Structure 1
């Protein structure tokens, strides 16, 4: 039996839900001891970057931890000691508690985000970054196994905590079942241009990692060109942009009066799969920042699961894992992105892209992405 433990929120951060579902699909019994902290990633990072907010975080955390201690005591009475403990995503603090509560049980930390790296990507410098890197060291030192999503992040672990390098394991992010369920049952006809707009969606935080400045420049070029082309019988282009973040204002300014854009500040997580599935193309990330070159974002997995064509940056991790199923453009190249979006208005080009995307869907299912973790557990004698 495996215990999934922490203050994670699988509705907001689906990664831990994918891991739990994947382990269950392989026959493991997984019991969740979870008391969600109720903070988004952005709020957590903001608190860590602004020390005066830390007392609020501490109060929330201690309340959740008190409940978790009670949950662990009750669980031990009913089920005994687990074979392993999986600490959910954003578990930098939770893994410390897990280590204390389960001193003789293997603890697996899903370290999808390095706190110091994320803060640096969002503009933090100096002592705050040093503090957050110390937090990363503490968290990874408390774990027996550190789960990471790309080999590039595994290399970061080697640099940060050399003693934990051999304990790192790459497990891709994957997509929850809800995204597969949202995919349309059939593929729309694409043999000819029926005048229906090519519908494109971007969702996420407007941060440097996402490359929303690149996206804004690309759309500022592509949308007017598509609108002009539509007056001569070409296919229109419509774009939905969902989210908020530090670069949102700049993106709005750049795209002021650009035709064909719908802005949405927020979509409930439960409603997001259906929204994406109602479009033709899902956009990934486009930056050339150090962090942008190391990740495969959630939306790439989710877009494929929803049966959509996914356009994203041509980086090592994305090309290596899913390159045959994605529409890749050079990082930080708005002209290339604009041209790719315009080319997908061609029914034959779109049909070929759809077929490539469809053949990659099974690779992002929960049962597939946890294969490395299942092999590791089996080698440690933790079996269903």
Structure 2
């Protein structure tokens, strides 16, 4: 990356947050729309927030037409992202299995499969025999609390190296003129009428033509500086990895009933996670309670893991909306744009978010694909209801 120059007094676009979404938006603004005076600000370091704390899963098997359409485009962009950035993001195809343990969840998986197929996304409901054939190590016994009755099979799921995605966008963006200012905390926004005139930071005040907020778990706090109230609740989301093992799990396996998921990385680690913590908190600490609960569920699915040791545990801050869908695009302020509400599924949206948020900023219009996720949908009771976002449906 080229050296970062001194902070200027003004920029055409200021992006708050140097995570995957902020960097992808900056990259698209510079390379697609020809915007040259762009500053990306972060109170920490490049890609050090939720981008560095997720579990790198990519999929498009959502529940609503709006969600499926959005993530279908994101997956198509992931397929060629290494070539576009000339940087290996280690994108790997992996089948995705969302397990069904009850008759109700079987009906929901059938519903999701039909929505997916209608919109051109490979997805189907499979029975127990096919689940066992794809994942021989799964415990298919009926003598457990939640027996496996079938699964939603998404053969085109995948994973990507999360920090490599951030680095790739940062390097190519910086080469196109984007300035990435780390350790530069935004402390306030200077609002005059219906416009944000300047961004106040720990390194001085910057005048801005347009401002994009992409700060994940801190979204509601940052929006307050702009005088906006977001329909968000921030809760910790924890994950962990085991010691490396020889290849044993072929797919990404998710259980909504057990609130857990698992896949095996290229290094052999078992990457595991579960539901968000049940209380709001702006913290990235790990807890014993999460670890104990998750391991109980994992051993129901894979009893042979009983002697495997956990190697590393961490947490991120998930910004959850009432309808489990993001908040994207224009706001009541003329030149302030929001990218928030990603909860547990923000990483897999990185390429499409950068592409479409850049379009929104450059044209000052809400792209059609982002209209369902507009800021004011909660006041108009026009919610999306993307329960498939957390790999469950109701």
Instruction: Compute the TM-score of the two structures, normalised by the length of structure 1.
Output: 0.28
Tell me: higher relative CO, structure 1 or 2? Use CA pairs within 8 A at least 6 residues apart: 2
